[in-house]
Chain A
Amino acid sequence: MSLTDIMNITLMQGFAGLSLFSVLLLMGLGLAIIFGQMGVINMAHGEFMTIGAYTIYMFSSLTETFLPGFASMYFPFAIAAAFCIAFAFGWFIEWALIRHLYKRPLDTLLATWGLSLAMQQTFRSTFGAREVSPTLPDWLLGSWAPAEGLDIPINGLFVLALTALVTGGVLLALYRSRWGLRVRATVANRPMANATGINTSRTDRLTFAIGCGIAGIAGAAFTTIGSTGPTSGSLYIVDAFLVVTFGGAGSLLGTVASAFGIAQTQSIAEFFMTGSMAKVLTLMMIVTILMLRPQGLFASKIRR
């Protein structure tokens, strides 16, 4: 094996880690807002991702039947639609369910778990139990080869770029917009935020809905990597919670850092052992670190 081969393998392995990082970060971002900022344990978060994924699937089949010429263009619109549908549904769920339970976090957990069961069954009745995948536009397929023997899959690059975009957007929105100001004020001190004229219950609803919308985008992005089934979302939920908790709830940068750390640990470990053992090792490390440092990597300086 020559030196360039080793270089290429290292690069591709590094990119696999980056790919996993973007997946974890996308999953964690919505939850970082809902769980990290608002403190709501949304066990149905995975199902909101599945909503996004099925939206893409619907768009793909609709364009195939009615607008075949549009097939290479539908993807960005479908992602926007995924955000909107998940956002609207999140808005409704906050109104119907979550707002009654803000004072009982553990009960929110059970109620949203029930919600996730109902959503899974709805997906199963609507789209069937089989896993589906949308027809991806041509420009998402194949791989990019900047050098001889170096293959970087384009869908991985796409997810990475989308993650960067969404993360940047969330950071900007949270720290540079009126909405972000209201959210941070509500999180820091609810009665005082109320007193200064912020409509905290409206802020809560908007925040929850935006978190769900981001989950929808995450689900949309995952359709480029794998197929979607009714229970796909539940596979991600524990990982998503661990990413947010490990990074330190309330800290968005912490979420980014923890997603990076977890992804790199896992992909490096996968190089040396089987996938399941790598997963066990990573999870064990997270749990051990959380036991020693329960506030996570980046502790927020909010009094609770």
Chain B
Amino acid sequence: MDSIKSWLARSGMGSVLILALIIVVVFPLTMDLFRLNLVGKYLTYAFVAVGLVMLWGYGGVLSLGQGVFFGLGGYMMAMFMKLEASDPETTKIQSTPGIPDFMDWNQITELPLWWEPFRHLPLALLAVLLVPTVLAFIISFAMFRRRVGGVYFAIITQAVCLILTVLIVGQQGYTGGVNGITDLKTILGWDTRTDEAKYILYFLNAGLLIAAILLCRWIQLSKLGTLLLAMRDKEDRVRFSGYDVSMFKVFAFCLAAMLSAIGGAMFVLQVGFMSPSLVGIVPSIEMVIFAAVGGRMSLVGAVYGALLVNFGKTYFSESFPDLWLFLMAALFIGVVLAFPNGLAGLYESHVKPRLGKRKDKPASGANSTPSSDVPPAIPLHSGASHGGKPLARTALPDGVQGTSA
């Protein structure tokens, strides 16, 4: 029992387990299908936030263009489903049957060549994973090779965002324009809109998210994670030690892009449409705030951040639409000025010391810890602490932290 506990604490797995429990057990049991579908949608944003933790928190590279990859992943999936939804039988009232309806409206009489691969599911899934990653590689390789970083990288990614949005909106005949790609119904004949399908997709999404977090956690605990951290803090020292700094950054960017693309594809599967409003500059920056609210160093925190901000957005924009933007503004400014480490940082500095104190008392007796006591006894974010003992609370300077899950 103790060895399990110490392993949990050392690897930060306890927090992942609790998150998995909440997403997979608590939410489906307590929510109706509509709310659960909403949570599923928010969890697709969590993919982006998790990628940003790796890229921004660990790699020290802020990208304001994650919407590009989220959108590309989503559009690839949507293109496949749209082609399936517009077979010649259902679209026979069009002047050209067998092509998506928005192409027909724009007087296009033939399916463009680059749409052809999306007739096949394996090719489409491969494109979801590879196209955003390759694009990320091209962008980041050119930039990081020339040691462009920080602010300039953020501005360039923002420009890429703008390019893609203008392109999608401008090329209405090929992309569906402002409306995006809508009316997506089936995958290989399987209806994604039934209740059963919604549950299955939710659990698939949750499983993929947990897998993504585990993968990232594994990277963090490996030597690669240590190098990323070292690079963020003292890039030149890592370079002088003989490491190729730029390729590590490229790796982090590609990883974040691929995760975002998976999130985008899952978004389309669960929500049933894709539009340029999810690609642009505004959603891309909002995705950064998910990671910032959760704590830019915490993978699990990023998921909570995405859930919390989106719940807040849904609630406030329905009830107090005027207040929402002010609240969002306060969130941005507050998270930067007062809580640079987000929720995870608050947990580390306020909740964990108390838990540690309370835990010490029963633990000093015989092994009298009942199972109900286990979840709070496991430190949620504790990569740096050993054996579950609380860290000495040293005030860390802004933006400098140790490892934590």
Contacts and interface: CB of A to CB of B under 8 A. Distances in A.
Interface of A: 39, 41, 97, 100-101, 103-111, 113-115, 117-118, 120-121, 124-125, 234, 238, 241-242, 245, 274, 276-277, 279-280, 283-284, 286-287, 290-292, 294
B281 interface: yes
Nearest to B172: A276
Contacts of B64: 109
B330 interface: yes
Top 7 nearest A-B pairs (CB, nearest first) are A114-B332, A276-B170, A118-B329, A121-B325, A291-B142, A294-B148, A114-B329
24 contacts: A103-B398, A104-B336, A105-B150, A106-B56, A106-B62, A106-B150, A106-B151, A110-B289, A110-B336, A111-B337, A114-B330, A114-B331, A117-B326, A117-B332, A118-B325, A121-B326, A234-B282, A241-B158, A245-B156, A279-B170, A287-B160, A294-B146, A294-B148, A294-B152
B170 A238 contact: no
Contacts of B103: none
B36 interface: no
Contacts of A117: 325-326, 328-329, 332
B273 to A, nearest CB: 22
Contacts of A283: 159, 162-163, 166
Contacts of A287: 156, 159-160, 163
A115 B332 CA distance: 8
Contact of B285 (A103, A113, A286, A292): A113
A280 B146 CA distance: 24
B190 to A, nearest CB: 37
Q: Is the interface of A mostly helix, strand, loop or mixed?
A: helix
A284 B156 CA distance: 10
A295 to B, nearest CB: 9
B151 A39 contact: yes
Contact of A109 (B62, B162, B167, B399): B62
Nearest to A43: B285
A111 B330 CA distance: 9
Interface string B24-61: 00000000000000000000000000000000100000
B17 interface: no
A280 B332 CA distance: 30
A124 B325 CA distance: 11
A111 B333 contact: yes
Contacts of B333: 97, 111, 114-115
B292 interface: yes
A115 B329 contact: yes
Given A103-B398, A110-B288, 16 more contacts: A104-B399, A106-B154, A109-B151, A110-B285, A110-B332, A114-B333, A117-B326, A118-B326, A276-B169, A280-B170, A283-B159, A286-B159, A287-B156, A291-B156, A294-B146, A294-B148
A291 B156 CA distance: 9
A291 B62 contact: no
Interface string B327-362: 011111101110010000000000000000000000
Nearest to A40: B151
A121 B322 contact: yes
A125 B322 contact: yes
Contacts of A121: 322, 325-326, 329
Contacts of A125: 322
Interface string B271-307: 0000000000110010011001000000000000000
Contacts of B171: 276
Contacts of B384: none
B201 interface: no
A105 B171 CA distance: 36
B155 interface: yes
Contacts of A41: 151, 154-155
A111 B170 contact: no
B230 interface: no
B325 A120 contact: yes
B208 interface: no
Contacts of B139: 291
Contacts of A245: 152, 155-156
Interface string B134-176: 0000010011001110111011101110110011011100000
A155 B288 CA distance: 40
B172 to A, nearest CB: 10
Nearest to B334: A114
A291 B144 CA distance: 9
A111 B337 CA distance: 8
B166 to A, nearest CB: 5
A97 B155 contact: no
A257 to B, nearest CB: 18
B296 to A, nearest CB: 10
Contacts of B163: 280, 283-284, 287
Nearest to A106: B62
A105 B170 contact: no
Nearest to A273: B170
A290 B155 CA distance: 11
B156 A111 contact: no
A121 B323 CA distance: 8
B337 A97 contact: yes
A109 B281 CA distance: 13
A115 B337 CA distance: 12
Given A104-B398, A106-B150, A242 B155 contact: yes
Contacts of B326: 117-118, 121
A148 B166 CA distance: 38
Given A104-B398, A283-B163, A277 B332 contact: no
A39 B385 CA distance: 37
A283 B64 CA distance: 16
A276 B166 contact: yes
Contacts of A97: 333, 337
Contact of A110 (B169, B325, B335): B335
Contacts of B147: 294
Interface string B368-395: 0000000000000000000000000000
A125 B331 CA distance: 20
A206 B218 CA distance: 48
